[in-house]
Structure 1
Amino acid sequence: MEVSTPIEQFESFAVKKRAIPVFLRFFFFGLMLPLSFAPFHLPALAILSLALFYHQLNGTPKSAFLHGLFYGFGFFGLGVSWIFVSIHEYGHLNELLSAFITFLFIIYLSLFPALTAFLFSRLRIQPFTLLSALAFSALWILGEYLRATFLTGFPWLLLGFGQFDAPIKFLLPVIGVYGIGFLTCFAATLLSLGFKAQSVARLRHVVLFLLIVLTPFVFKHRQWSESHAAPVSVGVIQANLSMRDKWDEALFWQLLQGYQEETEKLLGTELILMPESAIPLPPSYVSDFLYQMQQRAKRAGSAILLGIPQPVSPGDERYFNSLMTLGKAKGSYQKQHLVPFGEYMPRFFIALSDWLGIPDANLQAGKSDQTLIRVQKHAIASLICYELAYGDLLRRQLPAAEWIVSISDDGWFGHSLAMYQQQQMAQVRSLQVARYQVVANNDGLSSVINHQGDIVASLPAFTSGLLRASLYPMTGSTPWTYWGDTPVLLFCALIYLFCLVQKQLKNKDSAEAIAGEVKRRYPYQPV
């Protein structure tokens, strides 16, 4: 008597018994995927989720599209649920309208796994083969890349980010987030193939699966960068100010006094860092305060970096979201990748935003060729909030930058998953480029992360406090720093192209076979 596999048993329960409607099954599969990311840290669930998704993509292209859509509903419905908090609490829209906008955004994001499933189904590859597994994995990554770049892009919750707690993370400096995502997806499909295949093929799939899981350990102790400089002392101010208090005119001078008092405690530290928009008004409104801070920092030998809006030009009402320097630091950084709707309004939504009464956003994007900030004569890479998700923004500042400074204000997201997801992305980026990183976040998880992605010091979420630690300036480059994501994306594109060519050849062979059969049955007889 043949023993059924666990996945086959699930199919029997869900399909034959009709216990779970098809769309709910795929929604449930998608719901598992965000659990691989912070704060849940269950990377194995990504493999299980994708294995179940791939295992049951065996219908028509139309049904595959719908299955992918509901998979996306589960994935993004939980994974980016914090969007509702941002719109409702701080966009000042009512609950119904906030829920509606969030739902539209989730539908949009769900189109990408739906498109992946649709294109995979259209290839008509023999199911449960290695080529099928490679094709699905390649299409998943190409779908992620499209999601990360189309229109303004949304590279949040890329599959590779969620594998930071798995051994496969040691390959991040080599193949980057997309490469890790491809191997994770391929491992998931191999797991599915292992349940379906016969004994010999099953052994092959198991061996490949183990290679993906175990090979990264070879790179565990590989050092991609080194330090020839003395450690730099760091102090981070985490104010934990609510968004309402931060923009309350009556409390503004208390805010400045608070930052001044906390800075006094850290003077003498080589780098003092404040979060994004620590001072919410332009420099012209607080010129005396900034002058005093500049003089004190110079006397103490400290460099101060703080978030502040800076006008595009004198008298201009448009502003940059900036990182400003005082004391023993030179330069400034203007945020390049702005958050749509929060920091600027896309042109095609301006009329709708006016009708809905959404507050106007007038921030401008900084240039892509900015000079690196120098702190105590060290060049640094700068990132502001959302930019952590965009690897190329960081890569453009390397290998010249000796460490990373990342500032944020996650108060926009309230008590949600976003802050933890962002900290995980910071860890991924540090490991990916082999650089220390200082993270200053207004409302929690301010931290110092080493060049291997480990958190060496951190403050709890939703508390105020001072973080004191040290970091090491690093030099050198990882393979990913040299070649970026191009090799992985090109590899995925070639797999898809190969499958398309093979499909065309099969169609041609089928057409010729049909034509031959017609000629055989109905031979031409001249009159």
Structure 2
Amino acid sequence: MLMVRIVMLAALAGGASVFAFAPFGIFPLAFASLAVLAGSLQRVPRARGGFVVGFAWGFGAFLAGVSWLYVALHRYGGMPMPLAGFAIALFCAYLALFPALVGGLFVRWRRGGPFRQAALFAGLWVGAEVLRGWLFTGFPWLAIGYSQTPPSPLAGFAPLIGVYGVGGLLAFAAALAAVAPWRRLRGAAAAGLAIVGLGVAGFGLAQVAWTRPVGEPVEVALIQTNIEQGLKWRPERLADWLQTNVRLAREHAADLVVLPETTLPLLADRLPEGYLDELARDVRAAGGNLVLGVFLRDAQGGIYNAALSIGASPSQTYAKRHLVPFGEYSPPLFGWFYDLVDIPMSDQTRGAPDQAPMRLGEQRVAVNVCYEDLFGRELIRSLPEATLMLNISNLAWYGDSFAQPQHLQIARMRALETGRPMLRSTNTGMTAVVRPDGSVSDVLPPFTQGALRVPVQGYAGLTPYARWGDRAAMLLALVAAGVGVAGAPRQPAGSLKTVSG
């Protein structure tokens, strides 16, 4: 019965962690959730039990945090309800294997005092999240560090060690809070100073300007088309959508006008003759440039989810390089999946890994498409040349769910890591401008049609993260895990709990 209660507590703590992320933003809950997990693991004597407890935490966290995928599979993909529910449960179970790995290895290797154990927990946590963000092309959504965007004091560490490093510091502090001997004055003082010290250091680092403004501000119009996903691909509505894009581009001519991902729901070579010239006419006449999401086809027949620029500067393209499994391409042996769902343009080709930023007037704009901004290590390839980061997205697939605010929070972390403004033009939300310090300067209400017109300043220079990428966080994690397992006898289960009363 004790083990059942521990597993249930871990699952509830995992589920509660979703409230640390957007749209709720109660960032201390991430600390509390991980502290409950680490404390629960202290009560487990064997690695097998640690694996089960970690799995329970992960299953609760991901089921609460990414269940919006069900909307895409059932409502828009046409997958039967029971099968869509089973698919989401299976996917969450896969994601839960990573915290399960942390739990099992932590119980197996824990030894020494509170600081050693906290270091081991943090090192394992970073390793598991990095692995989750890489294996099978990666799914780093809800990496725990995303919950620590401003006003969390740990946000100050993001320009140095990125989202994984921030998550590692959070895991260290939470585990230390869980295992420290709080009834012993010396132990309590050491743990308390360490936890508070991390917050103070993060606050101080947040005052550092890692990059600098460059050039004159540009007038940007980020357009939100608000075309309902269930209607977007209907042939009888195509003329309406083409005209909607023309109207919005004309109404909001600026130095840089952006239309969202796949705003034109057909291949560019099938557009009516002269349509692109008509779309960009007013923007070009004003000396500006238009960037839009559209499908492009190469000479070999490959189809790309791309961004195309037209206007006063020479036309340029960016092709999405990090595709979404099951949505934009079929992994090997999974062709049967497409017999169960109806996803348009689901057989796409990857863009080249190193694509230069678009030269639009005086700005160098690094474009990324939707899901790509989850991968900070890939976005920094455009630095230091890029002065602005631009994400175009279509989250209409996920309806009115946590997906939109969670994705904006991810963009906030990318702005912190790169020291660049992150511009977002989306179909249904959330269209926004994020400052280099991770704060949101302007945002459109979701599920409305319009444009966000704001002056935006370009930035130059490199943050430490832009130089090192995830290597710094991985190195720190390796050192922390090594410190946690070396040089001390294994700590028996429950002994720290006994010491602390």
The TM-score by the shorter chain falls in which range? over 0.9
| Letter matched to residue 333 of structure 1 | Y
Secondary structure of the equivalent of 1:262? helix
| Contact map agreement 1:39 1:417 (CA 8 A) in 2 | yes
Q: Equivalent residue for 1:278?
A: 263
Q: Over residues 463-518 of structure 1, what are the superposed CA-to-partner deviations in whole Å (9 max), with x where a residue is unaligned?
A: 11121101001111111111111122012123334545547x879xxxxxxxxxxx
Asked whether the 8 Å contact 1:336–1:367 carries over to 2, the reply is yes
- Distance across 2 between alignment mates of 1:258 and 1:304: 15
Structure 2 counterpart SS, 1:470: strand
Match of 1:99 in 2: 85
Instruction: Output one character per residue of 1:102-132: Cα deviation in whole Å (capped at 9) or x when no partner.
Output: 0110000000000111111111414x52101
- The superposition leaves residues 424-466 of structure 1 with CA deviations (integer Å, 9 ceiling, x where unpaired) of 1111111221111210010022111222122121100111112
Q: 2:387 corresponds to which residue? A: 402
> Take 2:339 and 2:289, find their aligned partners in 1: how far apart are those partners?
45
**Aligned counterparts of 1:260 and 1:124: Cα–Cα separation in 2:** 62
Residue 398 of structure 1 and its aligned partner are, at CA, apart by: 0.7
How far is 1:348 from its partner? 2.4
Out of 453, 464, 480, the position equivalent to 2:449 is 464
**Counterpart of 2:365 in structure 1: which amino acid?**
I
How far apart, CA to CA, are the structure 2 residues paired with 1:415 and 1:195?
A: 45
Q: 1:497–1:358: structure 2 CA closer, same or farther, 3 Å change rule?
A: farther
1:241 to 227, 234, 239: 227
Provide the identity percentage: 31
Q: Which of 343, 355, 380 is the matching residue for 1:370?
A: 355
C-alpha distance in 2, partners of 1:356/1:443? 26
Secondary structure of 2:476's match?
helix
C-alpha distance in 2, partners of 1:200/1:397? 48
Q: Deviations over 1:61-84 (max 9, x none)?
A: 111111111111110010111111
Residue 34 (structure 1) aligns with: 18
Residue 196 of structure 1 deviates from its aligned partner by 4.5
Give the match's secondary structure for 1:21. helix
1:474 alignment partner, one of 438, 459, 468: 459
Query: Does residue 1:62 correspond to 2:52, yes or no?
Result: no
Q: Which amino acid aligns with 1:401?
A: A
Q: What amino acid is aligned across from residue 311 of structure 2 in structure 1?
A: G
1:48 aligns with 2:32: yes
Which residue, 198, 204, 212 being the options, matches 1:226?
212
Structure 1 187/357 Cα, relative in aligned 2: closer, same or farther at 3 Å? closer
Matching residue of 1:25: 9
Alignment partners' CA distance in 1, 2:279 and 2:110: 66
Letter paired with 2:462? S
Give the AA of the match of 2:193: V
The residue that corresponds to 1:433 in the other structure is: 418
**Partner amino acid, structure 2, of 1:64:** G
Q: In structure 1, how many angstroms separate the alpha carbons of the residues matched to 2:282 and 2:407?
A: 33
Counterparts of 1:104-119 in structure 2 under 5 Å?
104-119=90-105
CA–CA separation in structure 2 for the residues paired with 1:358 and 1:295: 35
Distance (whole Å) between structure 1 residues aligned to residue 10 and residue 27 of structure 2: 19
Q: Tell me, yes or no, if the aligned pair for 2:116 and 2:485 is still in contact at 8 Å.
A: no
Q: Is it true that 1:87 corresponds to 2:87 in the alignment?
A: no
Give the structure 2 partner of residue 3 of structure 1. Answer: none
Report the residue type matching 2:293 in the other structure.
G
Aligned residues: 485
Query: What value does the CA root-mean-square deviation take over the aligned residues?
Result: 1.9
Counterpart mapping for 1:64-213 below 5 A:
64-126=50-112, 129-164=114-149, 165-194=151-180, 196=182, 198-213=184-199
CA contact (8 A) 2:221 2:451 kept: yes
Deviations 1:325-359 (A, max 9, x none): 11024421100111111111101212x32554665
Query: What's the counterpart of residue 341 of structure 1?
Result: 326
Paired amino acid for 2:25: H
Q: TM-score, normalised by structure 2?
A: 0.93
Instruction: Give, in whole Å, the separation in 2 of the partners of 1:250 and 1:195.
Output: 68
Aligned to 2:428: 443
Whether the 8 Å contact between 1:320 and 1:363 is mirrored in structure 2 is yes
Q: Aligned to 1:47, what secondary structure does the other structure show?
A: helix
CA distance in 2, matches of 1:21, 1:308: 52
Q: Which ranges of structure 1 fall in alignment gaps of 5 or more residues?
A: 1-13, 508-527
Separation in 2 of the partners of 1:436 and 1:356?
40
Q: Which amino acid aligns with 2:13?
A: F
Q: 2:203 aligns with which of 204, 217, 230?
A: 217
- CA drift of 1:222 comes to 1.4
Alpha-carbon distance in structure 1 between the residues aligned to 2:182 and 2:471: 33
Secondary structure of 1:323's aligned partner: strand
Query: Bigger shift: 357-366 or 244-253?
Result: 357-366
Residue in 2 that maps onto 1:288: 274
Q: Aligned-pair distance for 1:383?
A: 0.9
Note if contact 1:402-1:474 (Cα within 8 Å) is conserved in structure 2.
yes
Q: 1:228 to 1:501 in 2, by over 3 A?
A: closer
In 2, Cα distance between the equivalents of 1:67 and 1:101?
22
Amino acid corresponding to residue 230 of structure 1 in structure 2: E
Identify which range, 448-457 or 462-471, moves more after superposition. Answer: 448-457
Is the CA contact (8 Å cut-off) linking 2:376 and 2:417 kept in structure 1?
A: no
Task: Tell me the distance in 2 between the aligned counterparts of 1:415 and 1:370.
Answer: 33
Distance change >3 Å, CA 327–CA 354, structure 1 → 2:
closer
Find the aligned partners of 1:457 and 1:47 in 2 and give their Cα distance. 29
Could you tell me which runs of 5 or more consecutive residues in structure 2 were left unpaired when the two chains were aligned: 492-501
1:484 corresponding residue in structure 2? 469
> Are the aligned partners of 2:430 and 2:445 in contact in 1 as well (CA < 8 Å)?
yes
Contact 1:193 1:202 in 2 (8 A): no
Instruction: Indicate how the Cα distance of structure 1 residues 153 and 500 shifts in structure 2: closer, same or farther if over 3 A, else same.
Output: same
The secondary structure found in structure 2 opposite 1:347 is coil
Larger radius of gyration: 1
Query: Structure 1 length as normaliser, TM-score?
Result: 0.88
**Residue matched to 2:495:** none
